[in-house]
Structure 1
Amino acid sequence: MLRPYRELLRVPHLGLVMFLSVLGRVHALGTPLALTFLVVGWTGSYALAGLVIAALTVGNAVSGPWRGRLADRGSAPRVLVVSCLLYVTGLLLLMALPAWAWYAAPVLALLIGLSTPPVGPVSRAAYTRLAGDSTKASVFAAEATLFELAVMAGPVLASAMISLAGPRAALALMAALALASVLSLAAALRRAGLGEPGPVAGGGPGRRGSVLALPGLTPALLAATLLAMGFTSVNLAVVAVGRELGQPVVAGALVAVWAVGSLVGGLIAGGRAGTPRYVLRVALLAAGVIVLVPALPPVAEASPVLIGVLLAVGGLAISPAIAASNQRLGEVAPEGRAAEAFGWLVTFTTTGSTLAAPAAGWLLDTVGPAAAVGGAAAAAVLAILFATLSARRSR
Structure 2
Amino acid sequence: MVSYREVLSTPGVARLIASQLTARFPAGMIALAYLLHVERVHDSYGAAGLVLAATSVGQAIAGPLTSRWMGRWGIRPVVALTMVVSLASYLVIALMVLPVTAYMLVGFIGGLSTPPIQSAVRTIYPKMVNSRQLTPLFSLDASAQEIIWVIGPVVTTFIAVQVSTVVAILVAGVFLVGGTIWFLTSPVVGRVRIPRARRAIGKVLARRPVLLATIVGFLLIASAAGVEAGVVAVYGHGGPQAGIILAIWSIGSVFGGLAFGHLPIGPWALARRMLLVFVGVALAALILDFWWLAVMLLISGFGMAPALAVMFAIVSSSVKFSDTAEAYGWVGTGQLIGAAIGSAFAGFMIDAQGPQGAFIVGAAFALLGVLFPVIFVRWHPDLRGRDAGPIPDTEPVPVQPS
Give TM-score scaled by structure 2 length. 0.88
**Which residue number corresponds to residue 197 of structure 1?**
194
Aligned-partner SS, 2:135: helix
Choose 360-369 or 229-238, whichever is displaced more: 360-369
* 1:339 Cα offset (Å): 0.9
- The aligned counterpart of 2:13 is 14
Cα shift at 1:160? 2.5
Q: 2:222 aligns with which of 211, 229, 248?
A: 229
Deviations 1:237-282 (A, max 9, x none): 1112213xx9532222211211121122122123x34336232212
Partner of 1:216: 209
List aligned pairs for 1:170-189, cutoff 5 A: 170-188=168-186
Partner of 2:253: 262
Aligned to 2:272: 280
Q: Deviations over 1:205-227 (max 9, x none)?
A: x7897111113321221111011
Q: Given the superposition, is the C-alpha separation of residues 275 and 12 from structure 1 closer, same or farther in structure 2, using an over 3 Å criterion?
A: farther
Q: Matched residues in 2 for 1:389 and 1:185: separation?
A: 40
Q: Specify the SS of the correspondent of 2:264.
A: coil
Candidates 330, 344, 351, aligned match of 2:316: 330
Distance in 1 (CA, whole Å) between partners of 2:376 and 2:18 is 30
In structure 1, what is the equivalent of residue 394 of structure 2?
none
SS of the residue 2:29 aligns to: helix
Which stretch shifts more, 285-294 or 315-324?
Answer: 285-294
- Does the CA-based 8 Å contact 1:332-1:394 persist in structure 2? no
Deviation, structure 1 residue 329: 1.8
Instruction: Decide whether the 8 Å contact of 1:215 with 1:390 is kept in 2.
Output: no
Aligned-pair RMSD on alpha carbons? 2.1
Aligned residues of 1:83 and 1:117 also touching (Cα < 8 A):
yes
Q: Which residue of structure 2 lines up, in the alignment, with residue 162 of structure 1?
A: 160
Rounded Cα–Cα distance in structure 1 between residues aligned with 2:218 and 2:251:
22
Q: Distance in 1 between matches of 2:115 and 2:102?
A: 22
Q: Cα distance, 1:137 vs. partner?
A: 1.3
Task: Tell whether the 8 Å contact from 2:210 to 2:331 is kept in structure 1 after alignment.
Answer: no
Please give the alpha-carbon distance, in whole angstroms, between the structure 1 residues aligned to 2:78 and 2:366: 34
In structure 2, give the amino acid aligned to 1:216. P
Report the residue type matching 2:265 in the other structure.
T
Q: C-alpha separation between the residues in 1 aligned to 2:241 and 2:263?
A: 37
1:93 deviation in Å? Answer: 2.1
Identity of aligned residues (%): 25
For residue 389 of structure 1, report the CA deviation from its aligned partner.
5.1
Counterpart residue type for residue 51 of structure 2 = V
Query: Could you tell me whether the CA contact under 8 Å between 1:60 and 1:347 is conserved in 2?
Result: yes
Q: Which amino acid aligns with 1:53?
A: L
- Give deviations 1:282-318, integer Å, cap 9, x for gaps: 22222222222222xxxxxx32122222122222222
Query: For the residues of structure 1 that align with 2:50 and 2:357, how far apart are their CA atoms?
Result: 26
- 1:333 deviation in Å? 2.4
For 1:222, give the aligned amino acid: I
Q: How many Å separate the matches in 2 of 1:165 and 1:388?
A: 49
Query: Which consecutive residues of structure 1, in runs of 5 or more, have no partner in the other structure?
Result: 296-301
Q: 1:190 to 1:305 in 2, by over 3 A?
A: closer
Gaps of 5+ in 2: 382-402
- Provide the aligned length of Structure 1 versus Structure 2: 379
CA contact (8 A) 1:72 1:340 kept: no
Alignment correspondent of 1:377 = 363
Measured in 1, the distance between the counterparts of 2:39 and 2:320 equals 45
Cα distance, 1:323–1:73 mapped onto 2, change above 3 Å: same
Picking from 359, 379, 388, the partner of 1:393 is 379
Q: 1:216, 1:390 within 8 Å by CA — same for their partners in 2? A: no
**Is the 2:281–2:363 Cα contact (8 Å) retained in structure 1?**
yes
What amino acid is aligned across from residue 356 of structure 1 in structure 2? G
Instruction: Report the residue type matching 2:27 in the other structure.
Output: A
What residue in structure 1 maps to residue 400 of structure 2? none
Does the Cα contact within 8 Å between 1:232 and 1:356 map onto a contact in 2? yes
1:220 and 1:386 in contact (8 A); partners too: no
Choose from 306, 309, 317 the match for 1:320: 306
* Deviation at residue 375 of structure 1 after TM alignment: 2.3
Would you say the 8 A contact 1:281–1:317 is kept in 2? yes
Q: Which moved more, 1:316-325 or 1:231-240?
A: 316-325
Structure 1's 189 and 374: CA in aligned 2 closer, same or farther, altered over 3 A? farther
SS in 2 for 1:274: coil
Taking structure 1 as reference, are residues 247 and 155 closer, same or farther at Cα in structure 2, changes over 3 Å only? closer
Match of 1:117, SS? coil
1:169-204 Cα deviation digits (max 9, x unpaired):
11111111101101211221555612x224xx375x
For residues 202 and 299 of structure 2, the distance between their equivalents in structure 1, rounded to whole angstroms, comes to 42
